[in-house]
Structure 1
Amino acid sequence: MTRPDTRTRILDAAERLFAAEGIAATSLRRVIRAAGVNVAAIHYHFRSRENLLRAVLARRLAPLNAERLRRLDAVETDAGRGPLPLERVIEALVVPLFRLMREAGPGGAAFIRLMGRTLTESSGFLDRLVIEQFGDIIRRFTAAFRRALPALPPRAFYFRIHFLVGAMVYALLETRNLRILSGGACDPLDPDQVVAHLVPFLAAGLRAPIRARRRGGRR
């Protein structure tokens, strides 16, 4: 079996470590040891820890986001000028993401966890990186959800999109509790199981009626 080239070994090691130990907790020294390379190799290929993380994300995000947008384009084409079907918009967002767990092998599952960490760990660099890597997806899908939910007041709309992202991130990051809660009956790493339950759950939350506003409260 051919050994992966140096750049690929570094990316694979960094992906595993960033996902397992966290972005802030993973040093270049740890990546160097795990990849079996020297300091010069890291600096030759990536120059900095930030550029390494950017490359790790871009390697899988580019095809992932292209597939999401391809699916969303199909939804919009089928709908013409009318409202978009909510479940299909959700599927365009989540199906490619969770299928990556299966189709890309162990590296795909690690990348899924890394994406969750990227969205939950906080730093100025990560905030910029999220906009850089997810900006187009955020804009396109926010507009698509707006078309799918035209009657939802703006404040309720943005809260619910925020909760949708939160549910997705939790499903990506926290798999142990579901196994414990279900006694092993549910497999949180089976993308078909996850999508089959996540899509209707998210759709129901987005469509839920708005409770009557209390005096002095806001919607």
Structure 2
Amino acid sequence: MNRISESDTKTLILDAAEQAFADLGFDSASLRHIISVAGVNLAAVHYHFGSKEALIEAVFSRRLTPLNKERLKLLDQLEAEAGKSPLNVEKVIGVLIGPALRLARDPGKGGPVVMRLFGRTIAEPSEQLQKLMHGQFGDVIRRFTAAFRCALPGLPEDVLYWRIQFVIGAMAHIMCDPTGLKTMSGGLCDPNDTEKAISEMVTFLATGMRAEVSKRRKK
């Protein structure tokens, strides 16, 4: 029988942990359950990851690092094309949400499971998860905040942050609950039509980003 390589062992553990955290939650998914599914021993988990907390971080990093690299690469291209001109709001939104929605609908990249993991971060908030998400998304948020600021130079700073949060919230909702739209529309809308979803979201969110500032805004 061929021995399993270290890289294969690590992948087995990550696959099992990803599914377990999505199915059971971060607290309820035990290392014992994960190693049973992966077919490895506890020593292998400690060797590759060191702790359950580090394993959780590795599970997210495996999926989010490529996603965020793609986003930043696309944003670099937008900025290079724009030169000294203001960025286009629709294009900035597109490169922020597009890669994420495509990942969410791609079973080959673990998309459906990853989206359930994101749902867990909302349902089971903790200081550890908040720090983890900040570490994963900190650079992305800073870059895209600067991009939106460039695209909408007259928007007050506090309003800018509110609206970026609304963009992120809309993206997270459609990613984590795609079937709700199909039910609400009686089947008229197909949540699996990723490009349609991206197009509709970009149009809607860009309008919101450009909207007149509320007159009731605190001065």
Instruction: Tell me how far apart the structure 2 counterparts of residues 109 and 160 of structure 1 sit (CA, whole Å).
Output: 27
Counterparts of 1:36-115 in structure 2, within 5 Å, are 36-103=39-106, 105=108, 107-115=110-118
Q: Using the aligned pairs only, state the percent identity.
A: 50
**Residue equivalent to 1:23:** 26
TM-score, with structure 2 as normaliser: 0.87
Q: CA deviation at 1:118?
A: 3.5
Q: CA deviation at 1:15?
A: 1.5
Note the alpha carbon deviations across 1:175-217, whole angstroms, 9 max, x for none.
232121122332324422321221112111111222322xxx6
Instruction: Tell me how far apart the structure 1 counterparts of residues 192 and 34 of structure 2 sit (CA, whole Å).
Output: 26
Counterparts of 1:1-219 in structure 2, within 5 Å, are 5-103=8-106, 105=108, 107-118=110-121, 121-213=124-216, 218=218
Q: CA deviation at 1:109?
A: 2.3
Amino acid at match of 1:99: R
Instruction: Tell me how far apart the structure 2 counterparts of residues 120 and 148 of structure 1 sit (CA, whole Å).
Output: 33
Q: CA deviation at 1:8?
A: 0.8
Instruction: Tell me how far apart the structure 2 counterparts of residues 16 and 127 of structure 1 sit (CA, whole Å).
Output: 20
Note the alpha carbon deviations across 1:108-167, whole angstroms, 9 max, x for none.
221233235436642111121112111111110111011111111122111111111111
Q: Is the 8 A contact 1:101 1:191 kept in 2?
A: no
Instruction: Tell me how far apart the structure 2 counterparts of residues 14 and 98 of structure 1 sit (CA, whole Å).
Output: 23
Instruction: Tell me how far apart the structure 2 counterparts of residues 199 and 23 of structure 1 sit (CA, whole Å).
Output: 33
In structure 2, the gaps of 5 or more residues are: none
Instruction: Tell me how far apart the structure 2 counterparts of residues 49 and 7 of structure 1 sit (CA, whole Å).
Output: 14
Q: Is the 8 A contact 2:103 2:109 kept in 1?
A: no
**Greater mean deviation of Cα atoms: 81-90 or 193-202:** 193-202
Q: Is the 8 A contact 1:101 1:189 kept in 2?
A: no
Amino acid at match of 1:6: T
Instruction: Tell me how far apart the structure 2 counterparts of residues 200 and 50 of structure 1 sit (CA, whole Å).
Output: 39
Amino acid at match of 2:42: V
Q: Is the 8 A contact 1:89 1:144 kept in 2?
A: yes
Instruction: Tell me how far apart the structure 2 counterparts of residues 79 and 116 of structure 1 sit (CA, whole Å).
Output: 35
Alignment length (residue pairs): 215
Rate the CA distance shift 1:15–1:38 in 2: closer, same or farther, 3 A. Answer: same
Instruction: Tell me how far apart the structure 2 counterparts of residues 61 and 88 of structure 1 sit (CA, whole Å).
Output: 21
Instruction: Tell me how far apart the structure 2 counterparts of residues 88 and 136 of structure 1 sit (CA, whole Å).
Output: 19
Instruction: Tell me how far apart the structure 2 counterparts of residues 146 and 20 of structure 1 sit (CA, whole Å).
Output: 39
Rate the CA distance shift 1:104–1:67 in 2: closer, same or farther, 3 A. Answer: farther
Question: Runs of at least 4 residues of structure 1 off by over 4 A?
Answer: none
Q: Is the 8 A contact 2:71 2:95 kept in 1?
A: yes
TM-score, with structure 1 as normaliser: 0.87
